[in-house]
Amino acid sequence: MPAAPVLQPVLKMKVDELFLNWLSETTTQLMLKDYLRRIKNGERIETGAGDGKHNRSLVCSANKNNVVSKKNMAEKTVSPLSTPSSPPSAPSTALPSGSCGSPRVGPNGRPVRRSIGTKLQVQAQVKKDEPITPALSENIPRFYFPRGRPKANPNIDSLISRIERTFSQFPNERATIEDMGKVAKACECPLYWKMPLFCAAGGDRTGFVSVHKFVAMWRKTLQTCHDDASKFVHLLAKPSCNYIEQEDLIPFLQDVVNTHTGLTFLREASDFHSRYITTVIQRIYYNVNRSWTGKITCSELRKSSFLQNVALLEDEEDVNQLTEYFSYEHFYVIYCKFWELDADHDLYIDQKDLARHNDHAISHKMIERIFSGAVTRGKRAHKEGRMSYADFVWFLISEEDKKTPTSIEYWFRCMDLDGDGVLSMYELEYFYEEQCQRLENMAIEPLPFEDCLCQMLDLVKPKTEGKITLHDLKKCKLSHLFFDTFFNIEKYLDHEQKDPFSVIRDGEGEVQDVSDWEKYAAEEYDSLVAEEAANEQFNDGYEHAIDPIDCQISHELNLRTDKRHFFQIPSPHSNLDLEEYEYEDDFE
Q: Which residues would be at the binding site for Ca ion (CB under 5 A)? A: 342, 344, 346, 348, 416, 418, 420, 422
Residue 348 or 492 having the CB closest to Ca ion: 348
Residue 530 backbone dihedrals phi, psi, to 5 degrees: -65, -40
Q: By C-alpha distance, which of 482, 457, 475 is closest to 467? A: 457
Residue 32 or 425 having the CB closest to Ca ion: 425
Residue 9 or 500 having the CB closest to Ca ion: 9
CB of 418 to Ca ion, least distance (A): 5
- Whole-angstrom distance, CA of residue 297 vs CA of residue 230: 8
CB of 146 to Ca ion, least distance (A): 34
CB of 292 to Ca ion, least distance (A): 17
H helix or E strand, kind and range, residue 296: strand 296-297
CB of 577 to Ca ion, least distance (A): 13
CA-CA distances (angstroms) from residue 583 to 61, 246, 281?
67, 10, 11
CB of 382 to Ca ion, least distance (A): 17
Residue 318 or 420 having the CB closest to Ca ion: 420
- Compute the half-sphere exposure of residue 401: CA atoms within 13 Å on the CB side of its CA: 18
Residue 418 or 450 having the CB closest to Ca ion: 418
Residue 249 or 354 having the CB closest to Ca ion: 354
SS3 at position 469: strand
Give the number of other Cβ atoms within 10 Å of residue 478's Cβ: 20
Residues in Cβ contact with 196 at an 8 Å cutoff, skipping those fewer than 6 apart: 232, 235, 236, 251, 252
CB of 53 to Ca ion, least distance (A): 40
- Whole-angstrom distance, CA of residue 472 vs CA of residue 309: 31
Helix 156-168 to helix 211-224 angle, to the nearest 10 degrees? 160
Residue 111 or 421 having the CB closest to Ca ion: 421
CB of 388 to Ca ion, least distance (A): 10
Q: By C-alpha distance, which of 471, 373, 461 is closest to 417? A: 373
- Whole-angstrom distance, CA of residue 470 vs CA of residue 464: 12
CB of 416 to Ca ion, least distance (A): 4
CB of 293 to Ca ion, least distance (A): 22
SS3 at position 244: strand
Residue 228 or 342 having the CB closest to Ca ion: 342
- Whole-angstrom distance, CA of residue 371 vs CA of residue 436: 23
Residue 129 or 418 having the CB closest to Ca ion: 418
**489-505: burial string, b at 16+ Cβ within 10 Å, e else:** bebbeebeeeeeeebee
